[in-house]
Amino acid sequence: MVKGFKDFILRGNVVDLSVAFVIGAAFAALVNSFVENVLTPLIAIPGTADFRSIELTVSDSTFLIGEFLNDVIAFLLIAAAVYFFLVRPTAVLIARRKPEEKSPTKQCPECLSSIPEAAGRCAFCTSLQPSEQRL
């Protein structure tokens, strides 16, 4: 039973998930700090950035609209920070590293249509293709 538990814990996906969770928590703290300490004060320059005092009372029920607005703004700022500082740069780096794929098509010398590489005859103009290009 102990050996089975040890095998379960040391399996790659459990260890990878644990590392991802720890890194995710650290990254969440970093993003929250960036939003709270850098982006939120930028919004506060023209006016207030704290809407906690806004509330609506109906029949002894208090709706904390300001808290909800603060949470919506924080969510939008966090989403924007993650997108512009993580998603976009990562996509650019991945696009740079991606090798160019050779197209499995060729151009017909007669009509300049795109046809399969192994085609012996053009599907558009029905001209025979040169035999050295056939597979």
Domain residue spans of the chain = 2-97, 104-135
* Tokens (6 digits) for 67: 């808290």
Measuring CA to CA, which residue among 69, 72, 32 is closest to residue 52?
A: 69
- Report the run of H or E that residue 49 belongs to, with start and end: none
- Residue 75: is its pLDDT beyond 50? yes
Give domain 2-97's CATH number out of 3.30.540.10, 3.40.640.10, 1.10.1200.120, 1.20.1050.10. 1.10.1200.120
Average pLDDT over residues 24-43: 82
> Contact 109/125 with Cβ under 8 angstroms?
no
The answer on pLDDT for 12 being more than 60 is yes
The answer on pLDDT for 135 being more than 50 is no
Percent of the chain at pLDDT exceeding 90: 1
Q: What percent of the chain has pLDDT over 70?
A: 91
DSSP 5-43: HHHHHTSHHHHHHHHHHHHHHHHHHHHHHHIIIIIHHHH
